[in-house]
Amino acid sequence: KNEVEQSPQNLTAQEGEFITINCSYSVGISALHWLQQHPGGGIVSLFMLSSGKKKHGRLIATINIQEKHSSLHITASHPRDSAVYICAAPMYSGGGADGLTFGKGTHLIIQP
């Protein structure tokens, strides 16, 4: 069963700073998810990636399948980026409708 670790658990930064959140997992997978959880509790999917890099606006996600490691970057951070960012990976390396195992999340606060 996959184990997902994230770091840091908490991150406070100033507006405009470049943010990096790291995720590592224990079992080889075909795709990894990055999610954002708002203070109200809602969860939004940011990225699903299986190799290389994906970019969406100021968000960039990278993954190294060999090292079982992924990073989420935020460029030119803004207070509205304040949220919990969660990494999630399939529970098992097999196919089918496997559920995801989630990291504990990184609580990001961007101060103006």
Partner 1 sequence: EPEVTQTPSHQVTQMGQEVILRCVPISNHLYFYWYRQILGQKVEFLVSFYNNEISEKSEIFDDQFSVERPDGSNFTLKIRSTKLEDSAMYFCASSEWSYNSPLHFGNGTRLTVT
Q: List contacts with partner 1 (CB under 8 A).
A: 30-31, 33, 35, 40-45, 48, 50, 86, 88, 90-91, 95-105
Is the CB of 16 or the CB of 28 nearer to partner 1? 28
The least distance separating partner 1 from the CB of residue 85, rounded to whole angstroms, comes to 12
Q: Is 35 helix (H, G, I), strand (E, B) or coil?
A: strand
The least distance separating partner 1 from the CB of residue 33, rounded to whole angstroms, comes to 7
The least distance separating partner 1 from the CB of residue 63, rounded to whole angstroms, comes to 14
Rg of the chain on CA atoms, in Å: 14
Q: Residue 38 has which token pair?
A: 């708002």
